Amino acid sequence: MAAPQRRYRTTLPTEPAWSVREHAPKRPAERTLRRKAAGRRRRFAMLVVVPVLLMLGSVYLHTVSAGLDARATELGVQLGRAQDEGERLQVRVTELSGSARIRELAGKLGMRQPDSGALKVYGDESRSKAEDGTQDGTQQKGGEQR
């Protein structure tokens, strides 16, 4: 079955040509004015409101970015101070944990270097391994300076 063909309204050469306005249905003027006003509002929104909103968004983002840059700079300064303080504290720890200083303070407190008679290993005597890690089980001489 063949598809129906579209029929166009045309004038015959013998008939007078009618103008388009005479064939078009009459629309109320109010409806036409409303449509034109709506189109103008859309154009106004596209040409004015959207770019203004984009500019305001850009200004806001630049303001936030400037605030974050200032905060990053401040944190960088704090980081530098903390690293300097850490280095100073590390030097102080090294000074305070020196063996000469510890021996001097121990002598002031009445401590002394132990000799071999003062050291005694307590525990299971049947073990073949001494506390100092040697395998012969003999008592080790302690208190020697390095």
Q: Distance between CA 105 and CA 99 in Å, rounded?
A: 10
Q: Distance between CA 43 and CA 58 in Å, rounded?
A: 22
SS3 content of the chain, % helix, strand, coil (to 5): 55, 0, 45
Spell out the long-range contacts of 105-111 with Cβ–Cβ below 8 A and sequence spacing 24 or more: none
User: CA torsion sign, 37 to 42 to 47 to 48?
Assistant: positive
Q: How far is CA 87 from CA 46, 74, 90, 93, 94, in A?
A: 60, 20, 5, 10, 11
Q: Distance between CA 123 and CA 137 in Å, rounded?
A: 12
What is the model's pTM?
0.41
Q: Output the tens digit of pLDDT for each of the chain's 146 residues.
A: 667 776 666 665 665 655 555 555 566 778 888 888 889 888 988 898 888 999 999 999 999 999 999 999 999 999 999 999 999 999 999 999 998 899 899 989 988 877 767 677 676 555 555 555 565 656 656 666 65
